[in-house]
Structure 1
Amino acid sequence: GGSGGAGPSQESEAPAEAAAAKPAPLDREGLLRLLAELHEDRIRFGITPETSVEGLAEALGEAADEASEEEGEEETAEAAAEAAAEAAAEARRQAEAEAAAVAAAEEEEAAAAEEEAEEAAVAAAEAAAAEAAAA
């Protein structure tokens, strides 16, 4: 019979559960590529934080106009206008956050390139020192 203790099936489940509990590692390069593509699309289509906000405000304004026509009530139009203003402010915050993320990604890429250049310089200096010592 079984003499207590964990059987093999119980032992193998614990590491699998621990692995499942860990969050997946970030695909930093994939995220940077996606961010770069988004940035390029925004440039290609002339999308700026201002045009994003203007377009959203225009669409929400049209929705507010339709709502006020359908309802015919001033309160509904005011509520829709407030919602449009809030949505425009949120769109502006999102656009600013995207711009900050692009800038941070560019800074990170520049720092990585600088670090690689420093490592290459150190390696070259070490190789030169080794050559001088051998000579």
Structure 2
Amino acid sequence: MGARVVDVEGFYEGLVGCGYGYGVAFRGLRGAWRGVGGELFAEVVLPEELCGDAGRFGVHPALFDAALQVSLLDEQERGGGGGLPRLVFAFRGVRLLASGATSLRVCVSGGDGDGGAV
């Protein structure tokens, strides 16, 4: 309620300009919405040709990567980064509640500074 649609058209092309070229399997971001509290909600999907492998992983690597890309979109949307996007390299408090997913709904919040939540 009250969320506005975030345009994801050209997201991957914009990353190529920063030196990050994502192949087809890793282009899973399908839609995003900015919440009234500043958080970013998104839907990411595993490409159909990889869905048969989803059960082999807690979270398929391509789907997990697409979920983390939402933080790049958040940074891009906020006008941050000053050029190169910041990539996630450390995790705390991670829990796996189910496995074999072919799509995820993601929420990114607290993207200011060096930390945030996905």
**TM tier, smaller:** under 0.3
Structure having the higher strand fraction is: 2
Structure having the higher helix fraction is: 1
Select the structure with the greater relative contact order (CA < 8 A; seq sep ≥ 6).
2
Q: Which has the larger radius of gyration?
A: 1
TM-score (norm 2): 0.25
TM-score (norm 1): 0.22
